[in-house]
Structure 1
Amino acid sequence: MNVQAIIKKIFHTRPSKVLGVDIGTGSIKLVQIELGSKPFVSGFAVEDLPLELSNNGFVRSVDMMLVFIKSLLEKYDFQARHVVFTVGGRNAFVREIDMPEMPDEEMKQSVAWDSSQYVPYEADTYYVDSTKFGTLTMDGLQPVLLVASPKDVVDALLEISDAVGWQSLGIDIEVLSAYRTLSEQLENFVLLDIGRSYSMLTIFQNGAPVAQRSIPQGGQMFNAAIASGAGVDLAAAEKIKLEDELLLGGLESDKTKYAEFFNEIENLGREVRRTCEYYMINKKDARFTHLVLVGGGANMTGLPQFLSEGMEMQVVANDIRKTVTFSDKLDQRELKKYLGALTVAVGAALYGGEADD
């Protein structure tokens, strides 16, 4: 279930290669997957967006983004002609609602008609889709997952796809792309995507994303805190964050020197707990087995262990290598550096492999 139900073209054959494209806050990630018994990643790229194109995933200028993407295609060897874009953050709205029991098509029409009650976008400016999930409530109502995305966001991506000469298999929601990469398909858990400028928390119940919240802590904030403590620039701080294993160390000198960094990580964990507690107040039957960490900011060694303190669920970092195989010809050092950041693009390409289902 995705916004692609509105815009997806129908394909009768499964493509052999699919390109997943994730345009984030400040960077673009592309992953080419070759489909088979186990999906095989034959190419990837992670590039910072020019300042004039950095806009929280919203394509401000189709022409400028088109020039930039074409430059990437000249730089990297991507042969895939089928593509799946993603939308997320403020460009994707996800909510659980309860509806009277009715046939699927009637339900979709009813949700679309009433969507303005729930969706935070202006009327007639967004695409909306919905699907049933779970079992009937004690009141006999059907839980329904509603998703929406602004038309100008979706239309801009499709325009780029056509101009490049790609065949668009659909537009996927970032959180669903990330979910698709999990080696274990969990049902009742929390997904925390730690991005560059903020983190997106998504609550899953019965395998569906039913609530989302953005949290201000992200990779840039962590780097700034380390840079402040060490008296170094942000590039050096990024290296310290990834290589010095601060979250595993027991040195009091490190805890003092990087007090601001540790405080930000603690704040992240605190906000996760508060969000889950608030949800459980309103949904008495809600339960969580895992907190799953994804995204570029989840690469920090020791983060699951650090966040486990005070959590009443198992904290794990997602490893997309359990779901897809990466070519030995790829730059393994670059792959290790960007593994978490590639999650959404990998999941989008995997959706493309389901196009004939």
Structure 2
Amino acid sequence: MLMRGPGIGLDIGSKKIKMARVKKVGKQVQLVKYGSIATPEGSMEAGNILDPDFLGEHIGKLARELKVEGRAVASAVSGQQIYIRNFVMPRMKASELKEAAIFKATEFLPIPVEEAAIDVFPFRQFEDGSGKKTEVFFVAARRQQVEALDEVCHIAGLKLKTAEIEPLAIYRVMNLNEGDKIIGLLNIGASRSHFSIFKQGLLTSLRSLPLGCSAFYRNIRGGGPKEDIHLEEIDANEDNDYSYLVRDIMSELARSLEYYEMQNAGETVETVYLCGGGSRLKNLDKYLAAGLGRRVNILEYASVLAWPALVTEREQWELQRDYTVALGLAAWGGI
């Protein structure tokens, strides 16, 4: 994880596949090229790859279009079967820490450790009355998911260099100056959303939420499918055919915040950042802020990412909502 990243991020969503390439420029990364294609129907479901061959062939077309075939990429595993936990271990050699953490995971991991792809990151060392300790960040996914992702990349003519989870990629490009504050991150995808919480820059909570912006296109109460709507034209603050969907976002987010703050007495999530396709909704940040009684902002990363001169303001607006995961993956190892 400490090696220099490939500079190419591959974000495979349930409705759209996005790829971005960046290069290091001083303390920033600069966008070099980007592109997307529709996710082939039947190849993905709830973050799980169903047809690696079909999916890989389509991604290969995008790779050739962007002239990145044969290169290494960073990508992400997603879905409900991602497991994270922070816990404290006795201090030990780095070579022994992962093995000890995996053994401890047998106490809480809902799948056999043999079926999991696991990574462990020590992030704090301290000493208390019982001795020297190390606090670690533990993340696991089903090994089958990672192997399927590797196969997809191979079929596409790409080399999977690293597979991580989406919140870590997003946090990498966030323009934050929050110090020791606790912040939330709501990534509203097409079919599902993910709400994560970071404390002092460390991921402490991750929940998958049963809502996505595809519901606005289906909108059964509003008269059926409407493929020609633009989310940025729907005002979350106004009473309209989509108000019940906006209320669903509010309800799910409020429940997630309440659960976290009940489980972590004395801790308050002060600010929630929005990203993903659903953040296109007009005034969604203002609507949620009023209902939750805390700051809600659209995620921005201008201090981290440099835009090429040819990228228009409208394209920047689109990229900041649709390409955050791909850009964060591309920046892996670079910032």
Q: Which amino acid aligns with 1:48?
A: A
1:57·1:91 contact (CA, 8 Å) conserved in 2? Answer: no
2:78 maps to 1:97: no
2:40·2:54 contact (CA, 8 Å) conserved in 1? Answer: no
Q: Distance in 1 between matches of 2:211 and 2:21?
A: 30
1:40·1:325 contact (CA, 8 Å) conserved in 2? Answer: yes
Aligned-partner SS, 1:21 = strand
**Most deviating of 321-330 and 207-216:** 321-330
Identity %: 23
TM-superposed deviation, 1:32 = 1.0
2:57·2:156 contact (CA, 8 Å) conserved in 1? Answer: no
Give the one of 267, 272, 293 matched to 1:291.
272
* Higher helix fraction (1 or 2): 1
Aligned-partner SS, 1:204 = strand
Q: Distance in 2 between matches of 1:207 and 1:157?
A: 27
Task: Describe how 1:145-164 pairs up with structure 2 within 5 A.
Answer: 145-164=137-156
Q: Which amino acid aligns with 1:316?
A: N
* Higher strand fraction (1 or 2): 2
2:247 maps to 1:266: yes
**Shift in alpha-carbon separation, 1:137–1:55, aligned structure 2, 3 A:** farther
Partner of 2:218: 224
Partner of 2:162: 170
**Shift in alpha-carbon separation, 1:297–1:139, aligned structure 2, 3 A:** farther
Partner of 1:71: 61
TM-superposed deviation, 1:130 = 1.9
**Most deviating of 29-38 and 132-141:** 132-141
2:63·2:156 contact (CA, 8 Å) conserved in 1? Answer: no
TM-superposed deviation, 1:131 = 2.3
**Shift in alpha-carbon separation, 1:137–1:228, aligned structure 2, 3 A:** farther
Structure 1 vs Structure 2 CA RMSD: 2.9
TM-superposed deviation, 1:112 = 0.8
Per-residue Cα deviation, 1:203-227 (whole angstroms, up to 9, x for no partner): 22222111221222210123333x6
**Shift in alpha-carbon separation, 1:79–1:49, aligned structure 2, 3 A:** closer
2:46·2:192 contact (CA, 8 Å) conserved in 1? Answer: no
1:41·1:327 contact (CA, 8 Å) conserved in 2? Answer: yes
Q: Distance in 2 between matches of 1:306 and 1:139?
A: 47
Q: Distance in 2 between matches of 1:143 and 1:185?
A: 24
Q: Distance in 2 between matches of 1:35 and 1:61?
A: 34
Partner of 1:119: 109
Partner of 1:36: 25
1:133·1:206 contact (CA, 8 Å) conserved in 2? Answer: no
Task: Describe how 1:172-321 pairs up with structure 2 within 5 A.
Answer: 172-184=164-176, 186=178, 187=180, 188-225=182-219, 228-229=221-222, 231=223, 233-237=225-229, 239=230, 241-244=231-234, 246-249=235-238, 255=239, 257-258=240-241, 261-321=242-302
Give the one of 326, 330, 335 matched to 1:349.
330
Partner of 2:122: 132
**Shift in alpha-carbon separation, 1:159–1:300, aligned structure 2, 3 A:** same
Q: Distance in 2 between matches of 1:177 and 1:149?
A: 16
TM-superposed deviation, 1:80 = 8.2
Q: Which amino acid aligns with 1:154?
A: V
Q: How many residues align?
A: 330
Gaps of 5+ in 1: 250-254
**Shift in alpha-carbon separation, 1:134–1:352, aligned structure 2, 3 A:** closer
Q: TM-score, normalised by structure 1?
A: 0.81
Q: TM-score, normalised by structure 2?
A: 0.86
1:193·1:200 contact (CA, 8 Å) conserved in 2? Answer: yes
**Shift in alpha-carbon separation, 1:65–1:79, aligned structure 2, 3 A:** closer
2:49 maps to 1:62: no
Aligned-partner SS, 1:39 = strand
Partner of 1:252: none
TM-superposed deviation, 1:107 = 3.3
**Shift in alpha-carbon separation, 1:138–1:311, aligned structure 2, 3 A:** farther
Per-residue Cα deviation, 1:291-333 (whole angstroms, up to 9, x for no partner): 1111111122211110002424311110244431233435765
**Most deviating of 131-140 and 269-278:** 131-140
Partner of 1:88: 78
Aligned-partner SS, 1:353 = coil
**Shift in alpha-carbon separation, 1:29–1:222, aligned structure 2, 3 A:** same
Q: Distance in 2 between matches of 1:325 and 1:243?
A: 28
1:290·1:313 contact (CA, 8 Å) conserved in 2? Answer: yes
Per-residue Cα deviation, 1:225-254 (whole angstroms, up to 9, x for no partner): 3x643x4642233x2x2125x1245xxxxx
